[in-house]
Amino acid sequence: MSRIDTLFAQLRSEHRKALMPFITAGDPDLEFTTAVLRELISRGASLCELGIPYSDPIADGPVIQASYTRALARKVKLAQILEMLAGVAPEVSAPIVTMVSYAIVHRHGLEKYVADAQRAGAAGAIVPDLLVEESGDFAKICRKADFSLVQLVTPTTPRDRALKIADGSTGFLYYVSVTGITGERKQLPQSLIDNVGWLREQTPLPICIGFGISQPQHVRQLAPVADGLIVGSAVVRRIAEASQKPREAVLKEAGDYVASLIAALPPA
């Protein structure tokens, strides 16, 4: 059981749902990332996704793209990100999962990535450009290390393929709510609830919904059918203000925002 498995087992037994914010490592610097992780987890985030900045992120919309660009402009390196993580992970209650391009994992070395990220305290990885067909070697290494490898299902995924992806995923299954890139949406597709509901009956794996989620009403609407909700761009957009505003204020705003989404989760 990885730390993520333990977390969802506990949440399910308590009939609770997870709220999972995404933040970009090193935006605008690693010191602030540490502070944001501590703040969001202390405000009740059950899990955090830590985005490893990548130069060519094709699944990301303008907000997350720009955060990667800001972080890379300061030449943040993977080794520094993992060092930062090692400093904060033991002190916080929530598991942290890295969101990382396969370009980075491959260059670092598959086994070395798992070993180094795990040593730093990461509980798993989401590799958005590693399809289930290409994930065999990496999945084997992750399984051996009990390091969760979270796979993604999207609205364009046929149902039989969704089952295959669920089989290959560990920790949880990431259900992408929309056909598109990351970024806030006013409305989410109607079919989403049916599709996630169907998939949840097929697999014991926890399912978290991400992409487009930004408002308490999204949380109220989707939380009943999922095990958790992921919110990215709306958090990153608030953190982006750290270059213009006092950092304390930005921290509080991001914390308040995440707390408002958590308050919209159904009561246990």
Size of residue set near other proteins by CB under 8 A? 42
105 binds other proteins (CB under 8 A): yes
Rule CB under 8 A: say whether 101 interacts with other proteins: yes
Interaction of residue 65 with other proteins, rule CB under 8 A = yes
Residue among 72 and 145 whose Cβ is closer to other proteins: 72
- Total residues found in the chain within this entry: 268
On whether the CB atoms of residues 149 and 129 are closer than 8 A, the answer is no
The catalytic position among 27, 39, 60, 227 is 60
* Three-state SS annotation for 89-146: HHHCCCCEEEECCHHHHHHHCHHHHHHHHHHCCEEEEECCCCCHHHCHHHHHHHHHHC
Residue 108 binds to other proteins (criterion: CB under 8 A): yes
CB of 76 to other proteins, least distance (A): 9
Binding other proteins (rule: CB under 8 A), the pick from 176, 196, 235, 258 is: 176
CA dist 79 and 206 (Å) reads 30
Contact (CB, 8 A) for 232 and 21: yes
What token pair was written down for 91?
């002190």
Is there a contact between 150 and 124 (Cβ–Cβ < 8 Å)?
A: yes
- Give the distance, in angstroms, between the CA of residue 161 and the centroid of all CA atoms in the same chain: 22
Near other proteins by CB under 8 A, which window of 84-92, 174-182, 239-247, 251-259? 174-182
Site string for other proteins, 208-247 (x = CB under 8 A): ----------------------------------------
Q: How far is the CB of 82 from other proteins (least distance, A)?
A: 11
Q: Choose the binding region for other proteins from 20-28, 36-44, 57-65, 221-229 (rule: CB under 8 A).
A: 57-65
- Asked if 133 is part of the footprint of other proteins (rule: CB under 8 A), the reply reads yes
User: Has 49 been annotated as catalytic?
Assistant: yes
Q: Which of 25, 78, 139, 235 binds other proteins (CB under 8 A)?
A: 78
Amino acid, single-letter form, for residue 125:
A
* Closest-CA residue to 215 (of 184, 237, 245): 184
Residues 6+ apart with CB under 8 A from 38: 88, 91, 92
* 209 φ/ψ angles, rounded to the nearest 5 degrees: -105, 135
- 107's CB contacts (< 8 A; 6+ apart) are none
C-beta closer to other proteins: residue 91 or 133: 133
Residue 203 makes contact with other proteins by CB under 8 A: no
Distance CA 122, CA 115 (A): 10
**Which stretch in 22-30, 155-163, 238-246, 249-257 sits in contact with other proteins by CB under 8 A?**
155-163
Query: Is 104 near other proteins (CB under 8 A)?
Result: yes
Point out which residues bind other proteins (CB under 8 A).
54-61, 65, 69, 72, 77-78, 101-108, 128-131, 133-134, 151-158, 161, 165, 176, 178-181
Residues with catalytic roles: 49, 60
